[in-house]
Structure 1
């Protein structure tokens, strides 16, 4: 099952409902034992199978392939670990916080903030469609995203609701911890049906957001009212819930990547995906708090 997160959607290291037979020793010249029903049995880029692209540097790879034997797996020291993901995520979130702090202290105006947001969006899209992680690109995205978040948070905190930024930070942390507990205890299970419904809901959410924005630009006012009043509150809660469910998808992608023996470089993509989701949740939380305090 592929993630709906654009960072992971091109990677393909998910297990189907977390039950696929990963880690089974493959037979020479044939598929791995226990891979029946595994959608990645023949194409999983991290499986120890003849198609493993990470065995290309192995001097015996071609010889093994010619004799029908599987290529050698990625060296254990080069595989992604949870420590790698935590460290990279700490770096990206640290840059987001640093950029936000600078923007807040320097009282960056909204014009610069919008420019930083556009740059971050472009960098994010470029990285999302690259086949390999680019640490410099990811860190640059985090820095510009931080500038945008700092400026918009300072504006809302000053002119809309004092203390809104801290409330949004605490709310985002609460959502993260809650979803992590729900995922680890398997109360929330990431299945194909879960992902399908989440994608439908997210698509509808984004379409309504875009339509509302168009009405605001060409019709003026609050558009269709999705960002103000009671309807705005409901819309904000839905946005936070969607972000929380996307966190569950991110957790599963990290778990599956480690299980499949993804190369260490993939930990940058895991950090990038988690950072994008947390930024989404924070913005929706900040928007909801501003609506609650303006009514």
Structure 2
């Protein structure tokens, strides 16, 4: 099973403005202090010369004429409810297609090749869609939902193979493990135990790049040399790299939470909620796959 890579291009720290959004706080009632305070203030198509890039008021001239104060515009901005609803939509579609793939694509000896081929094909298309969305300036709900549906097909097939042929109950264990990591990171982030700043993001990105390169080299050796390649996905090394993969996924979850928090604080447009949902979905898929692979390795060593 191949490694799943979370999206490297995250809105607010890796595109257009460096690390602008981290370790800063918005100023209530006025513009943020410094040029690096607002992750949407640099290289952002919505940004304006004024302190608040979203404070455009169509009645501003009329208000000035009659001496009335300008009321800030509050409609059309991203809220936590928007993020929750979009994330529920993407994860819900992923779960439905995964369940359908599990039920409709048998993995017995006569059909496993065809089912696995369909799953891999769906994963490749989903990967392409993920990269396309990562480099788009604006979210595409149709593209994000299509990604989630295709990723669900892949996860359904792979989960069925592991659950039925390697370790019974592995899929449910991986789901529970993913949920536990999500809840644990959320609690730690809200409690302030995890501080997402430039140093944290830089370390996570560097570690993830090294991890992905090692997995790619291992995959090449496995394809052209046969066997388990360099052994990074089997035995003791496989267990160690599985744990590292889960830890990296947890770090990306913390970055996702920071992205959502900054977006809401700085008045990001409502459509940005789709990007938040996309990022969380990709990260949870990463964590789930690492759990599933780790469970498979542990059971194969018994």
- Quickly name the TM-score band, shorter chain normalised: 0.7 to 0.9
2: distance between equivalents of 1:38 and 1:249?
A: 17
- Structure 1: gaps (5+ residues): 27-31, 64-71
CA contact (8 A) 1:5 1:246 kept: no
Q: Give 1:74 shift.
A: 7.6
1:221-236 equivalence runs, <5 A: 221-236=227-242
1:135 to 133, 141, 152: 141
2: distance between equivalents of 1:236 and 1:88?
A: 29
Q: Give 1:48 shift.
A: 6.6
After TM superposition, the score normalised by the length of structure 2 is 0.84
Partner SS, residue 78 of structure 1: coil
1:271–1:248 distance in 2 versus 1, CA, 3 Å: same
The two structures, once aligned, show a CA RMSD in angstroms of 2.7
After TM superposition, the score normalised by the length of structure 1 is 0.86
1:255–1:159 distance in 2 versus 1, CA, 3 Å: same
1:217-256 equivalence runs, <5 A: 217-256=223-262
CA contact (8 A) 2:163 2:170 kept: yes
1:279–1:44 distance in 2 versus 1, CA, 3 Å: same
1:44–1:13 distance in 2 versus 1, CA, 3 Å: farther
1: distance between equivalents of 2:71 and 2:187?
A: 32
Q: Give 1:157 shift.
A: 0.6
2: distance between equivalents of 1:11 and 1:133?
A: 16
CA contact (8 A) 1:133 1:268 kept: yes
Q: In the alignment, which residue of structure 1 is the partner of 2:3?
A: none
Q: In the alignment, which residue of structure 1 is the partner of 2:88?
A: 90
Q: In the alignment, which residue of structure 2 is the partner of 1:75?
A: 73
Does 2:46 correspond to 1:43?
no
Which shifted more, 44-53 or 213-222? 44-53
Partner SS, residue 243 of structure 1: helix
Partner SS, residue 136 of structure 2: coil
CA contact (8 A) 1:5 1:250 kept: no
